[in-house]
Structure 1
Amino acid sequence: MKATEHKPGRIFQVQFEPGDDFFKELNRFVREKNIRAGSVFLLGAFTKIDVISGFKSMTGYDVDRRSFGDWRELVALGNISWPDKPPAALGEGVEWSGPQPYVHIHMALSGGPGKNEEVLVGHLSGGILKGGMVVQIFEHI
Protein backbone atom coordinates (compact mmCIF):
# COMPACT_ATOMS: atom_id res chain seq x y z
CA MET A 1 0.00 0.00 0.00
CA LYS A 2 1.11 3.56 -0.70
CA ALA A 3 -0.27 6.68 0.94
CA THR A 4 0.10 10.35 0.14
CA GLU A 5 -0.85 13.01 2.64
CA HIS A 6 -2.79 15.99 1.33
CA LYS A 7 -3.94 19.12 3.07
CA PRO A 8 -7.41 20.53 2.48
CA GLY A 9 -7.53 23.50 0.15
CA ARG A 10 -10.53 25.43 -1.07
CA ILE A 11 -14.05 24.02 -0.90
CA PHE A 12 -16.54 24.86 -3.66
CA GLN A 13 -20.25 24.29 -3.94
CA VAL A 14 -21.14 24.62 -7.62
CA GLN A 15 -24.76 24.97 -8.73
CA PHE A 16 -25.43 23.76 -12.27
CA GLU A 17 -28.51 24.80 -14.26
CA PRO A 18 -31.00 22.76 -16.30
CA GLY A 19 -29.65 22.15 -19.80
CA ASP A 20 -25.98 22.54 -18.81
CA ASP A 21 -23.47 20.23 -20.47
CA PHE A 22 -22.07 18.73 -17.28
CA PHE A 23 -18.45 18.00 -18.19
CA LYS A 24 -18.04 21.10 -20.36
CA GLU A 25 -19.07 23.33 -17.44
CA LEU A 26 -17.22 21.33 -14.77
CA ASN A 27 -13.95 21.22 -16.73
CA ARG A 28 -14.25 24.96 -17.43
CA PHE A 29 -14.65 25.58 -13.69
CA VAL A 30 -11.70 23.31 -12.78
CA ARG A 31 -9.47 25.16 -15.29
CA GLU A 32 -10.72 28.60 -14.22
CA LYS A 33 -10.02 27.88 -10.53
CA ASN A 34 -6.83 25.90 -11.33
CA ILE A 35 -7.89 22.94 -9.18
CA ARG A 36 -4.99 20.52 -9.65
CA ALA A 37 -6.31 17.75 -7.37
CA GLY A 38 -9.54 17.22 -5.52
CA SER A 39 -12.56 15.14 -4.58
CA VAL A 40 -15.96 15.60 -6.21
CA PHE A 41 -19.42 14.69 -4.85
CA LEU A 42 -22.64 15.16 -6.79
CA LEU A 43 -26.39 14.54 -6.75
CA GLY A 44 -28.72 15.32 -9.61
CA ALA A 45 -30.63 14.23 -12.67
CA PHE A 46 -29.91 14.10 -16.40
CA THR A 47 -32.11 14.17 -19.50
CA LYS A 48 -29.27 12.79 -21.60
CA ILE A 49 -26.41 10.81 -20.12
CA ASP A 50 -23.39 8.86 -21.35
CA VAL A 51 -21.77 6.21 -19.17
CA ILE A 52 -19.00 3.65 -19.33
CA SER A 53 -20.33 0.63 -17.49
CA GLY A 54 -17.11 -1.36 -17.47
CA PHE A 55 -14.46 -3.07 -19.53
CA LYS A 56 -15.53 -5.75 -22.04
CA SER A 57 -12.59 -7.99 -21.08
CA MET A 58 -9.90 -8.29 -18.44
CA THR A 59 -7.21 -7.15 -20.90
CA GLY A 60 -6.98 -3.99 -22.98
CA TYR A 61 -9.11 -0.88 -22.86
CA ASP A 62 -12.23 -1.89 -24.78
CA VAL A 63 -15.08 -0.39 -22.73
CA ASP A 64 -18.86 -0.78 -22.73
CA ARG A 65 -20.32 2.65 -23.58
CA ARG A 66 -24.02 3.37 -23.08
CA SER A 67 -26.20 6.42 -23.72
CA PHE A 68 -29.66 7.16 -22.35
CA GLY A 69 -32.08 9.85 -23.48
CA ASP A 70 -34.62 9.52 -20.69
CA TRP A 71 -34.72 11.10 -17.26
CA ARG A 72 -32.21 9.47 -14.86
CA GLU A 73 -31.12 10.33 -11.34
CA LEU A 74 -27.60 9.80 -10.11
CA VAL A 75 -25.41 9.87 -7.05
CA ALA A 76 -21.68 10.00 -7.71
CA LEU A 77 -18.23 10.71 -6.41
CA GLY A 78 -14.86 11.07 -7.99
CA ASN A 79 -11.56 12.85 -8.18
CA ILE A 80 -9.80 15.58 -10.15
CA SER A 81 -6.33 15.14 -11.64
CA TRP A 82 -4.27 16.51 -14.54
CA PRO A 83 -2.76 13.44 -16.27
CA ASP A 84 -0.24 13.63 -19.13
CA LYS A 85 -1.96 10.88 -21.14
CA PRO A 86 -5.57 9.65 -21.39
CA PRO A 87 -6.63 7.51 -18.43
CA ALA A 88 -7.57 3.87 -19.15
CA ALA A 89 -11.12 4.52 -17.92
CA LEU A 90 -11.77 6.58 -21.07
CA GLY A 91 -11.17 3.56 -23.31
CA GLU A 92 -9.20 3.40 -26.55
CA GLY A 93 -8.95 6.10 -29.22
CA VAL A 94 -9.26 9.19 -27.02
CA GLU A 95 -7.31 12.23 -28.24
CA TRP A 96 -5.21 13.82 -25.50
CA SER A 97 -2.73 16.69 -25.66
CA GLY A 98 -0.56 16.95 -22.57
CA PRO A 99 -1.68 17.64 -19.00
CA GLN A 100 -5.33 18.61 -18.80
CA PRO A 101 -8.10 18.30 -16.23
CA TYR A 102 -9.62 14.87 -15.87
CA VAL A 103 -12.63 14.48 -13.62
CA HIS A 104 -13.01 10.75 -12.96
CA ILE A 105 -16.51 10.03 -11.64
CA HIS A 106 -17.96 6.74 -10.42
CA MET A 107 -21.73 6.76 -10.29
CA ALA A 108 -24.89 4.86 -9.47
CA LEU A 109 -27.60 5.71 -12.01
CA SER A 110 -31.33 5.05 -11.72
CA GLY A 111 -33.02 2.82 -14.27
CA GLY A 112 -35.17 5.60 -15.66
CA PRO A 113 -38.94 6.18 -15.66
CA GLY A 114 -40.85 3.09 -14.55
CA LYS A 115 -37.64 1.22 -13.73
CA ASN A 116 -37.04 2.39 -10.17
CA GLU A 117 -35.71 -1.01 -9.06
CA GLU A 118 -32.87 -0.92 -11.61
CA VAL A 119 -29.49 0.67 -10.98
CA LEU A 120 -26.49 0.91 -13.30
CA VAL A 121 -23.03 1.57 -11.94
CA GLY A 122 -19.96 2.73 -13.81
CA HIS A 123 -18.21 5.91 -14.94
CA LEU A 124 -20.03 9.10 -15.89
CA SER A 125 -18.71 10.19 -19.30
CA GLY A 126 -21.11 12.95 -20.34
CA GLY A 127 -24.55 14.38 -19.90
CA ILE A 128 -27.06 17.20 -20.14
CA LEU A 129 -28.73 18.16 -16.87
CA LYS A 130 -32.48 17.84 -16.31
CA GLY A 131 -32.70 20.08 -13.27
CA GLY A 132 -30.30 21.88 -11.05
CA MET A 133 -27.39 19.89 -9.73
CA VAL A 134 -25.20 20.63 -6.76
CA VAL A 135 -21.56 19.57 -6.94
CA GLN A 136 -19.18 19.85 -4.02
CA ILE A 137 -15.47 20.04 -4.78
CA PHE A 138 -12.85 19.62 -2.08
CA GLU A 139 -9.44 20.74 -3.29
CA HIS A 140 -6.36 18.79 -2.17
CA ILE A 141 -3.06 20.66 -1.83
Structure 2
Amino acid sequence: MEYSVGRCGRVVSMRLFEGEDLYESIESVAKDENIRCGAVFVTGGFRKAKVVVGPEQEKPKIVPNFRNFVGPGEVLGVGTVYWDDEGPKLHIHTAAGRGEETVVGCPRGGASVFLILEVTIIEIEGVKASREFDAETGVKLLRIVQGE
Protein backbone atom coordinates (compact mmCIF):
# COMPACT_ATOMS: atom_id res chain seq x y z
CA MET A 1 0.00 0.00 0.00
CA GLU A 2 1.05 3.56 -0.67
CA TYR A 3 -0.55 6.54 1.02
CA SER A 4 -0.04 10.14 1.95
CA VAL A 5 -2.09 12.57 4.00
CA GLY A 6 -3.10 15.94 2.58
CA ARG A 7 -5.66 18.64 3.20
CA CYS A 8 -8.46 20.23 1.22
CA GLY A 9 -7.51 23.16 -0.94
CA ARG A 10 -9.69 25.02 -3.39
CA VAL A 11 -13.10 23.80 -4.49
CA VAL A 12 -14.00 24.21 -8.16
CA SER A 13 -17.65 24.14 -9.24
CA MET A 14 -18.30 23.58 -12.93
CA ARG A 15 -21.31 23.38 -15.22
CA LEU A 16 -20.79 21.49 -18.45
CA PHE A 17 -23.21 22.06 -21.33
CA GLU A 18 -24.85 19.83 -23.95
CA GLY A 19 -22.28 18.03 -26.07
CA GLU A 20 -19.20 18.99 -24.06
CA ASP A 21 -16.66 16.24 -23.40
CA LEU A 22 -16.27 15.04 -19.80
CA TYR A 23 -12.51 14.40 -19.93
CA GLU A 24 -11.52 17.44 -21.99
CA SER A 25 -13.50 19.78 -19.73
CA ILE A 26 -12.22 18.51 -16.38
CA GLU A 27 -8.62 18.07 -17.50
CA SER A 28 -8.63 21.56 -19.05
CA VAL A 29 -9.77 23.21 -15.81
CA ALA A 30 -7.30 21.12 -13.77
CA LYS A 31 -4.51 22.31 -16.07
CA ASP A 32 -5.62 25.95 -16.08
CA GLU A 33 -5.90 25.96 -12.28
CA ASN A 34 -2.79 23.80 -11.74
CA ILE A 35 -4.71 21.23 -9.68
CA ARG A 36 -2.14 18.46 -9.25
CA CYS A 37 -4.28 16.23 -7.05
CA GLY A 38 -8.04 16.25 -6.55
CA ALA A 39 -11.29 14.42 -5.95
CA VAL A 40 -13.96 14.76 -8.65
CA PHE A 41 -17.73 14.36 -8.33
CA VAL A 42 -20.23 14.52 -11.21
CA THR A 43 -23.99 14.46 -11.48
CA GLY A 44 -26.23 15.15 -14.44
CA GLY A 45 -26.63 13.54 -17.83
CA PHE A 46 -24.69 11.75 -20.57
CA ARG A 47 -25.72 11.96 -24.22
CA LYS A 48 -23.45 9.00 -24.96
CA ALA A 49 -20.42 7.29 -23.48
CA LYS A 50 -18.00 4.48 -24.24
CA VAL A 51 -17.49 2.76 -20.89
CA VAL A 52 -14.90 0.22 -19.72
CA VAL A 53 -16.89 -2.42 -17.85
CA GLY A 54 -13.94 -4.61 -16.86
CA PRO A 55 -11.08 -6.35 -18.60
CA GLU A 56 -11.66 -8.30 -21.78
CA GLN A 57 -8.21 -9.81 -21.16
CA GLU A 58 -5.91 -9.61 -18.13
CA LYS A 59 -2.68 -11.18 -19.40
CA PRO A 60 -0.13 -10.49 -20.77
CA LYS A 61 -1.50 -6.92 -20.74
CA ILE A 62 -4.89 -5.61 -19.70
CA VAL A 63 -7.27 -5.16 -22.63
CA PRO A 64 -10.37 -3.14 -21.73
CA ASN A 65 -13.89 -4.36 -22.45
CA PHE A 66 -15.90 -1.37 -23.75
CA ARG A 67 -19.67 -1.03 -23.71
CA ASN A 68 -21.53 1.80 -25.40
CA PHE A 69 -24.05 3.79 -23.40
CA VAL A 70 -26.60 5.49 -25.63
CA GLY A 71 -28.57 8.17 -23.84
CA PRO A 72 -29.73 10.58 -23.11
CA GLY A 73 -29.60 9.34 -19.57
CA GLU A 74 -28.75 10.11 -15.99
CA VAL A 75 -25.25 9.84 -14.56
CA LEU A 76 -23.38 10.12 -11.32
CA GLY A 77 -19.72 9.53 -10.76
CA VAL A 78 -16.71 9.86 -8.55
CA GLY A 79 -13.08 10.05 -9.54
CA THR A 80 -9.67 11.59 -9.13
CA VAL A 81 -7.36 13.82 -11.09
CA TYR A 82 -3.57 13.41 -10.94
CA TRP A 83 -0.91 14.45 -13.43
CA ASP A 84 1.26 12.28 -15.61
CA ASP A 85 4.19 13.51 -17.71
CA GLU A 86 1.77 15.21 -20.15
CA GLY A 87 -0.62 16.94 -17.75
CA PRO A 88 -3.71 16.24 -15.65
CA LYS A 89 -5.47 12.92 -16.16
CA LEU A 90 -8.97 12.17 -14.96
CA HIS A 91 -9.85 8.70 -13.68
CA ILE A 92 -13.56 8.44 -12.99
CA HIS A 93 -16.12 5.69 -12.57
CA THR A 94 -19.74 6.42 -13.33
CA ALA A 95 -23.14 4.83 -13.26
CA ALA A 96 -25.19 5.90 -16.27
CA GLY A 97 -28.74 4.85 -16.84
CA ARG A 98 -31.73 5.24 -19.09
CA GLY A 99 -34.89 3.35 -18.29
CA GLU A 100 -33.97 -0.24 -17.50
CA GLU A 101 -30.42 0.05 -18.87
CA THR A 102 -27.56 0.82 -16.52
CA VAL A 103 -23.85 0.86 -17.36
CA VAL A 104 -21.31 1.11 -14.56
CA GLY A 105 -17.62 1.62 -15.24
CA CYS A 106 -14.95 3.99 -16.48
CA PRO A 107 -16.08 6.14 -19.46
CA ARG A 108 -12.54 6.60 -20.74
CA GLY A 109 -13.60 5.89 -24.30
CA GLY A 110 -15.33 9.27 -24.25
CA ALA A 111 -18.45 10.77 -22.74
CA SER A 112 -20.52 13.71 -23.94
CA VAL A 113 -22.93 15.71 -21.82
CA PHE A 114 -26.71 15.66 -22.12
CA LEU A 115 -28.23 19.00 -21.09
CA ILE A 116 -26.04 19.63 -18.00
CA LEU A 117 -23.32 17.99 -15.99
CA GLU A 118 -22.50 19.44 -12.58
CA VAL A 119 -18.86 18.86 -11.60
CA THR A 120 -17.12 19.52 -8.31
CA ILE A 121 -13.34 19.25 -7.96
CA ILE A 122 -11.89 19.29 -4.46
CA GLU A 123 -8.19 20.04 -4.59
CA ILE A 124 -5.98 17.98 -2.28
CA GLU A 125 -2.87 19.81 -1.12
CA GLY A 126 0.25 18.29 0.39
CA VAL A 127 0.14 14.95 -1.46
CA LYS A 128 2.88 14.14 -3.94
CA ALA A 129 1.43 11.67 -6.45
CA SER A 130 1.31 11.07 -10.20
CA ARG A 131 0.16 8.63 -12.84
CA GLU A 132 3.04 6.48 -14.07
CA PHE A 133 3.21 3.83 -16.78
CA ASP A 134 3.18 0.29 -15.39
CA ALA A 135 4.89 -2.11 -17.80
CA GLU A 136 3.24 -5.19 -16.30
CA THR A 137 -0.34 -4.03 -16.92
CA GLY A 138 0.30 -1.67 -19.83
CA VAL A 139 -1.60 1.23 -18.20
CA LYS A 140 -0.75 4.35 -16.22
CA LEU A 141 -1.36 3.79 -12.51
CA LEU A 142 -1.35 6.09 -9.52
CA ARG A 143 1.93 6.29 -7.60
CA ILE A 144 2.08 8.05 -4.25
CA VAL A 145 5.34 9.23 -2.72
CA GLN A 146 5.16 8.43 0.98
CA GLY A 147 6.35 10.75 3.69
CA GLU A 148 5.78 13.96 1.73
Tell me the TM-score normalised to structure 2 length: 0.76
The reply to whether residue 123 of structure 1 matches residue 106 of structure 2 is yes
How many residues align structurally?
123
By relative contact order (CA 8 Å, sep 6+), the higher-ranking structure is: 1
Which deviates more, 24-33 or 66-75? 66-75
- The two structures, once aligned, show a CA RMSD in angstroms of 1.5
Q: Whose strand proportion is higher, 1 or 2?
A: 2
The reply to whether residue 101 of structure 1 matches residue 88 of structure 2 is yes
Paired with 1:109 and 1:121, the residues of 2 have a C-alpha distance of: 6
5+ unaligned residues in a row in structure 2: which ranges? 126-148
- Please state whether the residue corresponding to 2:26 is helix, strand or coil: helix
Residue 107 of structure 2 aligns with an amino acid whose one-letter code is L
Q: Deviations over 1:4-56 (max 9, x none)?
A: 10111101111111221221122111111111000001111111212111112
Match of 1:12 in 2: 12
| Pairs within 5 Å for 1:19-58 | 19-58=19-58
Tell me the TM-score normalised to structure 1 length: 0.79
Identity %: 28
5+ unaligned residues in a row in structure 1: which ranges? 84-97
